Chain A
Amino acid sequence: MSSFNSVSDALDLLVDPFDDVGDWDEIVRRALALSPDREQRPRQLRFLAATAIVVLTTALVVATPLGAAIGRALDGFGTWVTGQPGTPASPDAQKAFQAANARSWASFARGTELRKLLVTEASGATFTLYGFRSGGSLCLRLVVSGSVRGSTSDCAPLSALQTERTPAVVVAADEPFGSVHVRPDAQGYVPEAFSATFGIASDGVKRVTVQGDAGQADALIGGNAFLYVADHPKLGARIRAVDAVAANGTRVALPFASSPFGTLALAAPPTGKVHGPSRIERHVVGGTIGWVERREPRGRPVPANLRKRLVGSQLTRGAKPLLARLIQPDQRDFIRV
C-alpha cells in the first residue's frame, strides 16, 4: 500500500514546510495589551508601546482629517487588539459556529472564540454580528435567524487595518439574505428580503452612515464594528457610499465597491493598493464547498432566464444544475462568479 525510503521521508510527508512570514508586531502588541501590570513594564517595552502608538497616530493624522481628530485620543482597534470586543457569544452560538467551522473547507483555527458585537431585528428576522480573531485577521460573522435564516463570515487582515488610511473598513456590503416571493422582473430577478452591510470601526468612530439608493441611514455601531440592515430593499437597490464620522463631526468616506445589479452591469474596478498574498500559498486538492453541499442559498439568485440557459449548456456539460447562485467573493471587487 505505502512505502517509504526512510523515516526522514515519512516525516517529510507528515508536515509540509512553512515559508510564510510571521507578524512580530502582533506579538509585541498582544504582549503589551495583555500585560498585567503596565507600571512594571520594562522601559524598552514602554518605549516600543509609545512608538507603536505614535506610528499609528501619525498614519491616521497624515491620512485623513478624521484621523487627526481621532488620532489624539484613540488606541485604534483597541478591543480587537486585546481580543475582547463586545460580549462573549452564547454557548449555543459558539457551538453552532464550531459545528459550521468543522464542516468548512477553509475552517478557522479550532477553539476560535466568538464575541457578540451587535444585534438588530427587522421584519421578524434577528441579525447578530459576531467578531473573532483568526491568525492575523479580524473577522466578522453575521448570523440571521427568524423569518430568514443564513450566515456569512468575512475577514480583514490586521495588517491591512493598521495601514488603512480610513478609521473604519467595510467588510461586506449589501450581503443578501432571503428573497421575496414575487414574480421575477423581465430579466428574471427578484428582490432580496434583506441586505446587510457591516464592517470594523476604530474606537474614535462615533457614527457610520450609509448612503443607498433608498436614502441615507445610520448603521448600528458598537464593539469596534458597525452593521446596517436594509429591510426589504427595492430590486437592485444598493449602498453607494459609507462614511465614518468622528465625535467632532468630521466625516470620511470608506472605500468599497457597490455590488452591481444585473448580469452585465459591472461597476468600475476599485482603485487603491491591492492587499493579500502575491503568490500561491497553498495548493488545495479535492474537498467540497459546505454551503453548496447543503444547498444553502448564499449570494444572490441567478436570474430565471440565465438559469434556463444553464440547463443543458456546455458550462454544465448537459446536466441540470442543483444550485445556482451569484457570488461576489471580494466586497471591494465587482467580479461575480
Chain B
Amino acid sequence: MLLKLEARGQRSRPMVYLTPVLAIVLTLIAGTIMFAMLGYPPMQALQAYFIEPISSAYGLSELLVKATPLALIGVGLAIGFRANVWNIGAEGQLTIGAIFAGGIALVFYEVDSPFILPLMIVAGLLGGMLWAAIPAYLRVRFNANEILTSLMLTYVAILILSYLVHGPWRDPDGLNFPESRIFSDSAVLPVLLEGTRLHLGAVFALLAVVAGWVFISRTLIGFQVRVIGLSPMAADYAGFSQKAVIWLTLLLSGALAGLAGMIEVSGPIGQLLPTISPGYGFTAIIVAFLGRLHPLGILIAALLMALTYLGGEVAQIDMNLPLAITGVFQGMILFFLLAVDVLINYRIRIDWPGNRPAGEGQ
C-alpha cells in the first residue's frame, strides 16, 4: 500500500472550511492521549478544560475578555500574512502600546477628564505602530528580514517595560513591588456587564473584525495585498508597490497590537506590570491561521484560543493540571491544522500493489 499526494489542480473550497474542524478533532484526540500519559483521567480533564470554563455566564464573559486582544491582533496579522509580510513581533508592539497608553494614564493620574481614555487609545495605536515601523523601515530600506527584526524588538520592548515598572514608573506609595500606580477611574475602560470584567475593548475587537473584512475584500488596497501574496510577479506587473504594502501591513498590524496592549492595561489589568500578556501576540499567529486569514474566521478562532487560556486556568485550579498545557494545546492545534491543510491542494490516493491503472505500471 502506498499513499500518494495528487495535486487537485484547484483549491478545494470545502476543505478550506473543513480542515480547521478536523485539526480541532485531532487535537482533542491527542489531548486525550496526553492527559492519559500524564496520569489524569482524560474525560474529566477535557471536561475541566473545555466545558467547565464556559458553563457559566461569568465564564463566558471571561472568554470574551481573553478573545478580545487575540481577535484584534489576529485581524492585523492576517492582513500581513496574506501579503507574505511576517510580523511575528506583535507581542512587542502590544507591550509598547501598553507603555504609551499607560504613560498617559500615569501622567494624567490626578486629572479627571473624559478625554483621557481617547488619548490612551490614540497613544496605544501610535505606540504599536511605532514599534512595527522599525521592522518595516529596515525591510524596505535595507532588506532586513522582518521575522527576525520584529521578534528581536519584542525582547527589547519587554525589557523597556521592565525598566519602567522597576524604575521611574514604580508606584511611589507601593511596597517596592515592580508595579505602577493603579490607574484612576477616568483611565479605565468602562465595564459593559455589571459583575463581570467584560469591557468596552470587546466592542473595539468587533469593529476591527468588520473593518478588517471590508478592507481586505472591498477595497483596492486590500486587493493589492491579496495579489502580492498570491503572485508577487503579477503584482509587480500590475504596478502594485510592494514597499507600500509592507509599510501598510506592518503599521496596521502594529497599531492593532498596540490597541490590544492599551485595552489590556486599561481593562482587565488597570495598571502596568512587568508582564501584561500571557503571549497574546504569539497566540494571535495561531488565531490568524486557524481563522483562515479571514476576519470572521479569526473571530471564531480567537474564541477557541481564548478557551485554551481559560481552560488552562480552570484545570489548574480544579485538577492541579500544569498551566503549561495551554501552550501545548495551542501548538498542537496549529501543527494539526498545517498538516491537514495539505488536503486543500492535494487529494490522497492509495495505491494498492497490483491495482495500478493501466499505463502507469512498469
**Does B associate with A?**
no
Using a CB–CB distance below 8 Å, which chain A residues touch chain B?
none
